[in-house]
Each structure stands twice: as structure tokens, then as C-alpha cells.
A and B are shown apart, each in its own frame.
Chain A
Amino acid sequence: MLSCHAVRAAPLRRPQPWPIRVAHWVNVPLLIIMAGSGLQILAAYPMLGPQGRPYAGYPFQGVIPPEWARLGDWLAGARQWHFAFGGFLALNGLLYLLYLAFSGEWRRRLFFPRRDARNAASTLAFYLRLRREPPSQELYNGLQRLAYTGALLLGILAVLSGVTLYKPVQLGALTSVLGGYDAARAIHLLTLALLGLFTLGHVLMVLLHPRSLVEMVTGGRKPDAR
């Protein structure tokens, strides 16, 4: 029984199974469309907070996003882009989560503090040249698990704050949980900023480790097929 359990616990999988790859690449155009049209929507009223009241914490009050980053030409066009594709982004995220849950992939991809915190700290120390050798790792090290889990949570928060802005009255309970309409708007913008930062770091790491890009395209080899 024990050996049987052990065999089932370690299935031989490619580093990047196809559902993971499909969800990953489908995200690329969708995130570009959502970010671009979202910034065009922001350009119509580039302020945070309610009318007539200051919003101290936001450093870019009144700053219109640069034109190259905007999509949709004007407010009505951008809103139609945003609402036409937002549902597909949420659906892609949902399918990804369902796959993670039912394939068992969540075990090797998600960050669990008790298991991964030490490894994440050691990996960070290695990147900061405070440590000579990288800690041992399986598919991902603790820092990667932390980053990918954080991005996933940010995506969920982006969708939840987005539907709150779309339906502040019909989804009033969710609006209250997020602190009200204006707070939801600030949170929605913050998720965009943090996802943008994540993407920058993500692309930088791919440049440093091109093999990960190959694996994300081909799926890579199974561990026993060497």
C-alpha cells in the first residue's frame, strides 16, 4: 500500500503540461487588451477617490497614461474592448484553477509557507549574491512559487475588483467587502501596476533562463525520458 501511494504521489509529468501552456499563452493577448483598454478608461478620469475630495495616497492624481499604452481610441471604444474580453480572461483563469486543482499540479506550483518559505529566502539570498549556491529545487524554487502564487492571487483580485466596478449596485456585498466603489477602483489599478511589475520580472527571468521559454512552448521532456 505504501509503495503504491508513493508511485501515485510522483507522477511523471512534463515540466509544462499542455493545459498550463495554453492558459499561459492565452493570457498574453488578453492581458495586453485589458491593460491597454483599462488605461484608456483611466484616461477619461485619471483621478482616484470621490468627486470633490482629495485622495492622498495616489501619486499620479490627474496624470493621463501615455498614448502608446492605451487601446480603444476613446472611452466608449475602450469600455467595449474591456467588457468584450474581460470575461475571457476570467474564464481562462477559472479553467487554469480547475486544472491546477484536479491534476494535482498545485502541489509543485503553489507556494505553501511552511514548505517553501525557507527555500524562497535562500533563493533570494542567492540572487542577491549573499549565498554562493542556489538551494535545491524541483520544478520551481520557493521564490518562483511565491511569485506565481502572488500573480494568481493578483489576477483573482483584478477580476473581483473589476466586476465590482462593473456592477457596484447589483454586487453591493462584494463592493462593501472591497471598501466601496472608489476603493475598488484604486485596488483595480493597483492590481494592474503589480501585475505589470510581475510581468517585467517574469520576462527578465526568461531572458536569464531561456530554457524555461522553450519548455513553455514545447512542454519539455518527462523526467524519465532523458
Chain B
Amino acid sequence: MRDRRLIVEPRPRLLTRRTALLGAGSALLASACDSARPHAGFLGAMERVNARLQAALFDETRLAPELPPEETTPPGAFPQYFISDTVPLAPPGWTLKVGGSVARPMRLTLAELQRLPSTQYRIRHHCVEGWSAVASWHGVRLRDLAEYVGADLAAAYVELRSFDSGYWSSWDRPSAFHPQTLLAYGMNGQPLPPEHGAPLRLYSAVKLGYKMVKYLTEVNFLSQPTSGYWEERGYEWYAGV
């Protein structure tokens, strides 16, 4: 059931025949456009331009369409993904640590999270690889949690950490506070299964899958941007859809 190929690992960089054929002019191009270091050089500069463009295009009132039940991806066909060798299981006494620039830093149990206002929707998931899948998700809006802990609105970034081998990511605030960005504890009307991030994962209509951290342990509201597991390996940071 496990699909390890979900996000392809970088291959070792070689001086390929194609690179050689491109000749002298390619030396400049290769240093400015290095597939192994896509955050650097011209590719990185264009990523920053495109991130600004994407942020300008982002509208926090624009919702992804809610889909009818018959569009739900068949059981078992929604890919599962984690970094660890086996399905990560929550440590005993799991709580969600909420910190950073907040008035009331706290550790929340699942029961406490479930007492906060709940939201549910069925929307399409967009993976960086190009596939899409549909499920319904329920949980608490990240925006509602921020209000509950008294997050400082000057904190323009949100960082999410996980117990899945230290997987993590970070978001811009407008996307994190989008009404369809949830800390989900349920999927398709059931409690969130371990393969999809139990007990708590991020789910959102406005980012690619690798931004939606599963197996959450920490949410931090920060004034500075940080990176992420796949972002450090070369994937785009903004990754909006």
C-alpha cells in the first residue's frame, strides 16, 4: 500500500552528455540554472519572483470548490506518504505544542482540539507530482486555533513540525489563515487513520501536498520565514495552488 516514490529523491548530479553538447555557453547557464540547487542562481531568483506573483494572486476569500461524495477517491487509492520507514505512531500522551509569538503558549490534547469549532469539507488534493485525489476532511481551522492561543498578528509565518522523522514545513500567514486550512483530525467521516497523519495533520485547499505536514507535534507562529523538509532539498517554498 505504501508508495515510496511519492516525491522523487534528487539524483546525483552528473556532467551529462546533454550538458557537454550545450558547449561553452552552457557554463554560464549551468551555474545560473542548476537542477541540483534550484534555490540558487537564476532558477532561485525566478522562484522568488514567482512567489511574489503567487502571493499577489492569492485571495483569502476564494475557496476551492466542495465536491460531491461520488467524487471521493476509492478507499486505498489515496496515496499514503511519510518519511519514516514504517507508519509513524503518536508517542503516548501526545499533545500539540502551540508556541512562538502567542499570548498563551499551550499544549493541547486531541480532546481539547475537538472542543474548538469544527470545519468539514470535501476538496481536491493536488500533489506536486501531478496526481489529484479527493477526500473529505474535518478538524479545526488554523485561524481558529491562532485566535484561541492569542497569536500575534505581526507573526507573518507559521511553522509546522511533526514526529515523522522531524518532517516540517512553514507557511505564509495568508495561506495558513485561509478558511480551508485545517488542523484535521478526521478523514472521510472517520478519525484520521495513521497512514494519513494521525492523530493530527494539516490539510489545505491552497497548497501542494508536501506543505501539509502530517503527524503534527508543533505549531509555531513566527515573525521570520523558515524552510521545510522538502524545501531544503530543492522544492519550491510557496507552492500555492
Chain A residues proximal to chain B, CB less than 8 Å: 41-42, 44-45, 47, 50-53, 68, 71-81, 83-85, 87, 165-172, 181-182, 185
Question: Contact: B11 with A75, CB < 8 Å?
Answer: no
Provide the main secondary structure of the chain A interface: helix
The one of A72, A75, A77, A87 that contacts B129, using a Cβ cutoff of 8 Å: A75
Q: How far is the CA of A185 from the CA of B126 in the complex (A)?
A: 12
Residues of B contacting A84 in the complex (Cβ-Cβ under 8 angstroms): 33, 42-43, 46-47, 50
Chain B residues proximal to chain A, CB less than 8 Å: 7-11, 13, 18, 33-36, 38, 42-44, 46-47, 50, 54, 57-59, 62, 64-65, 73-74, 76-79, 124, 126-134, 205-206, 230, 233-236, 240-241
Q: B142 CB to closest chain A CB, in angstroms?
A: 17
Residues of B contacting A52 in the complex (Cβ-Cβ under 8 angstroms): 73-74, 76-78, 133
Residues of B contacting A168 in the complex (Cβ-Cβ under 8 angstroms): 124, 126, 241
| A170: nearest chain-B partner, CB-CB | B57
Question: Contact: B128 with A74, CB < 8 Å?
Answer: no
Residues of A contacting B205 in the complex (Cβ-Cβ under 8 angstroms): 169
Question: Contact: A81 with B241, CB < 8 Å?
Answer: no
Residues of B contacting A45 in the complex (Cβ-Cβ under 8 angstroms): 127, 129-131
A51-B73, A51-B79, A167-B241 given as contacts; is B130 within 8 A of A42 (CB)? yes
Q: Knowing that A74-B234, A75-B128, A170-B59 touch, tell me 15 more A-B residue pairs with CB under 8 angstroms.
A: A45-B127, A50-B134, A53-B73, A68-B18, A71-B18, A76-B38, A77-B34, A77-B38, A79-B236, A84-B42, A84-B46, A87-B50, A167-B240, A169-B205, A169-B241
A52-B78, A169-B205, A170-B241 given as contacts; is B46 within 8 A of A74 (CB)? no
A75-B8, A167-B57 given as contacts; is B206 within 8 A of A81 (CB)? no
